[in-house]
Amino acid sequence: MLLAVDVGNTKIKAAVFEDTALVEKFVFNPEEGVFGVEKILKKIPDATQSIMSVVGKEDNELLLWLQQNTKLTAVNHDLVFPFINDYATPATLGIDRMVLAAGAVLKYPARNRLVIDAGTCVTYDFVTNGNHYLGGAISPGLQLRYNAMHNFTAKLPLLYPEMPQNYIGNSTKSAMHSGVVNGLLHEVEGFTQQYNQQYQDVMVILTGGDADFLAKRLKSTIFANSNFLLESLNLLYLYTNQK
């Protein structure tokens, strides 16, 4: 069994897989790194293999612990990925974006794929049906937009994501919710429309912590899967170890 670990900006997400089946998922705070993973392996001791990707702060203690207690695959730019990387600055491409692109290639072969990861930031990553990774876009996530309005103005309150009742906000709070949520929904719809105009048969995958929240209001044909990064880590591990 495989333990997949995603060290994000705000949370550590982990899951145990048996082949391609997700057995159980776990979420904990970065400061719980080793303690959190230790609890998982006490509960599921058969998870003797592991794979870890880091987009947040490097956790050398967790890396060392996994190396000592499991057979670890640490995802970095030197790993073999199932796509041709056409990014102009490949060394700066986030590991999480590379993992998502790999998952899209391995799960949806011979398709044009757009992966939208709605987390702390919203990332858009596009891989052609010929498995060329072209790049995409990065924008602020929902909570970053709320934080920015609060931190860079004198009087706007700090709010948290809430689905607006109407696109016309009739109070400061409802106007902020409309601007943030509807603004991001229109952004996602706009990007999706642009890709569909230029490419045929585009598979759009929405993932990340805010995926389910956004998916309820999106009009486009989008496959929402909040676990896609963890599933992609598992698929990348299987791909790497078949090489």
Confidence of residue 242 (pLDDT cuts 50, 70, 90): confident
Which residue in 59, 96, 117, 125 is the catalytic one?
A: 96
Confidence class for position 192, pLDDT limits 50, 70, 90: very high
pLDDT surpassing 80 at residue 83? yes
Residue 25 tokens, joined: 């998922």
Decide if 96 is catalytic: yes
Structure confidence at residue 147 (pLDDT):
98
Instruction: List, for residues 25-82, the tens digit of each pLDDT value.
Output: 999 998 888 999 999 999 999 999 999 999 867 778 999 999 999 999 999 999 999 9
In the chain, the percentage of residues whose pLDDT exceeds 90 is 87
User: What pLDDT score does 220 carry?
Assistant: 73
Is the pTM here over 0.95, yes or no? Answer: no
Separation CA 150–CA 163 (nearest Å): 18
Spatial distance between the Cα atoms of 71 and 52, rounded to a whole number of angstroms: 11
For residues 33-70, b (16+ Cβ closer than 10 Å) or e, as one string?
A: bbebbeebbeebeebebbbbbbbeeebeebbebbeeeb
- The residue with greater pLDDT, 223 or 137, is 137
Q: What is the pLDDT of residues 145-171, one digit of tens each?
A: 999 999 999 999 999 999 998 999 999
How far apart are alpha carbons 104 and 114 in whole angstroms?
A: 8
Q: What angle do CA 185, 191, 195 make, to 5 degrees?
A: 145
Long-range pairs for 169-176: beta carbons < 8 A, 24 or more residues apart? 176/146, 176/149
Residue 27 contacts residue 137 (beta carbons within 8 Å): no
State yes or no: pLDDT of 229 exceeds 70: yes
The CB density around residue 234, as the number of other CB atoms within 10 Å, is: 25
pLDDT band of 243, cuts 50, 70, 90: low
8 A C-beta contact, residue 55 and residue 94: yes
| pLDDT at residue number 31 | 87
pLDDT(140) > 90: yes
Spell out the domains of the chain, with CATH numbers in brackets: 2-74 (3.30.420.40), 84-233 (3.30.420.40)
